[in-house]
Structure 1
Amino acid sequence: MIEGWRWYGGFDRISLSEIAQTGATSIVTALHEIPYGQVWPRNTIADTRAQINAAGFDWTVVESLPVHEAIKRAEGDLSELFANYRQSMANLAAEGIRVICYNFMPLLDWTRTDLAAPVPRGGTCLRFSLPKMAAFDVFMVERDGAEKDYSEAVLAAARCWFDKSTPALREGLTAAIMAGLPGAYDRYDADGLRQALIPYAGLDRTTLRQNHKRFLEEVIPTAEELGLKLAVHPDDPPRDLLGLPRIVTCAEDIDWILSAVDSPANGLTLCAGSLGANPDNDVPAIAERFAGRIHFAHLRNVAKDPDGSFEEAAHLTGDTDMPALVSAFLREEQRRRAEGRRDAEIVFRPDHGHELLDDAARGTHPGYPLIGRLRGLAELRGVIAGLNASMPNIA
């Protein structure tokens, strides 16, 4: 497996020279400064690649080439947006990129209610509290019909939190939820988010699936021609939020997407944490089932609560059996080598780490500290080395 590291380019508080000291060999990044829907110019891609190469890394995976919200809503004439996406793909392929990670989550990207929840023995982690999310949805955004999306127990806990909350706590909750919005988007307060939801009225699961299928039909043939692979990222968290449907949450969803346009170019980013937050998911089994279509991997772990809440665990101590998951990847790489494929190795990156030691002082992107991810990478590296040593045919 190829050790990757997510880097936010000029927006990152962690330098490429520091990343080099982690031992990772591949950078995973994107042109975060370009607004959604616009073409990524080849010269800008080339400049970024040259910077990465000069620091001693490869750049093989883009995370992410964003899908414009109008495509997710199927709103208006989309021909220019699809053409721009295909041209960006062509420009990336011309510069040697082979995998494009993307997601199809409407409006909100990853969502957490706490960005610095304490963990045992010190440090902090990202956390998703379903009662806090319900408090935000029902009592702050005041979305019509929101109460129907939560159990009585969760609503009671939400009311309790809201009644005891101060303006500062409510502002902090809003800021945490907004932290998952892509960089090209403004952050909203509760009233602003209520307005932002209006264009999504009536967008149900079936409609969003059909819009996703249309996207795939528009771009996968181009990916095939260019030798690119697209890899959809699962929804995070894997549940509907604020009345917005989520359609990449489980094995059934993944099977539908990969079958919608049945091509090796239409693949999956296996995010262990996103899928692991769904209590019905057996993440190693999902990896086994879809191994041939996994083009990229995020390795992280979560610890779930009975009420639907969860938090980021250490990479080897959460609910997902990480050695079993890594074993599935290694067996798939062995199969690919037996076929003579030059792209047998799967790029992975240590996803979301705890903020440890002086991580908090850096002010990095939430979930992307230096020391916490280095700990995760070191642990994963040990798992991979141990499995390789015990399974000599997978070297």
Structure 2
Amino acid sequence: MRSLRGWVLALVLALLIAAVAYLGQPKQDSPEHSSNSDAANGASAARLFAEAMGHPTSQIEGTFALPSSQGLIFVFTPTSAYSADDANQAAAWVRQGGVLVYASEQGDPELDRAFSVTRYGGAIGSGVEYANPSLDGVTTVAGGAFASPFDVSAQQVAMLRSRGGLPLAYIQKFGAGRVVLLADPLVICNGYLDKADNGRLLSDLLGLVDDGAAVGFDEYHHGVILNDFAPQAWVATPWGAAILWFLVAVFVGLLLRGRRFGPLIPRPAETVRADAEWAVAVGELLRRSGARAMTLGMLASASERAVAQRTGLPAQPRDRFWNALYSRAPELAAELAEAERVLYGTADGDADMLNAAQRLHRIAYPPAPERRSRQ
């Protein structure tokens, strides 16, 4: 009962910590800018806007399956790291004519490698970003307070710059397709589309593909995939922290359950039982269970096996044993048969059965000649 109480306390403590960790998470927040979220930093409005513009939209989830080569994909701040295969697949898709809008504050190592993205290490003020003439109808956009600028190459054309002139967005021709990099995803998120020229920026991005082209949103790398079971995922995400707290609670529960409440009491050494005690115990069990007939059968069968071994006869089949015994040792056969008859006829009590059993034992295991002379 005490052991069960310890487990119950550990379970209650774990559930309490998990509930606090879950309820303590900020509500209406989407740091990964999910297209399922209606939060200010979510991207559900971008998906609805694309649908309103006549683009069939889809969410990439379950498996990383890309839409048709003439479509557009939004990748917002992956929380589950891209594998090398996923990044190479995305790069190959763009080379075939697709358009990838890659908006992430810190970037993904494999995706940055696949598209040759170079970022400055520090962050700069990015509350207002200034557009160049390549964006139709866009002069300024408003986003977050800070962003990490890009180090663009000759093939990468800056579209948005900070007040100091550092690139915060660029477009690059990549094979037959194009890739657009945004250092601050908030400029096309729900709560910012009505600020400055942010809505026009989103419209220009959708205008990079033909009317009716498919638009996809990568939610596959916002969910739990095999890469999430890396050690860093246990502490870098809310669910990982909750699991860590659960393990700590279970450990504490087990620790409390194993706590001593007094000095250790040594276990008494077990005494070796004599063979006679086992025989007495088995006999007592047979007597209590009322297995008298079974006991008599066991005694008779054991005696027959001993006689068969002594005379060199097979004990089974039983009728052949008796025929052979009467032929080879008729006196022994008659004595054994009489002893068994007396044994099965002992209905008066345990004393008569004991005498009959002793008689069978003398027939089955006769004493040696020298012992007979001594007796």
> Smaller-chain TM-score range?
under 0.3
Q: Choose 1 or 2 for highest CA Rg.
A: 2
Q: TM-score, normalised by structure 2?
A: 0.24
Q: TM-score, normalised by structure 1?
A: 0.23
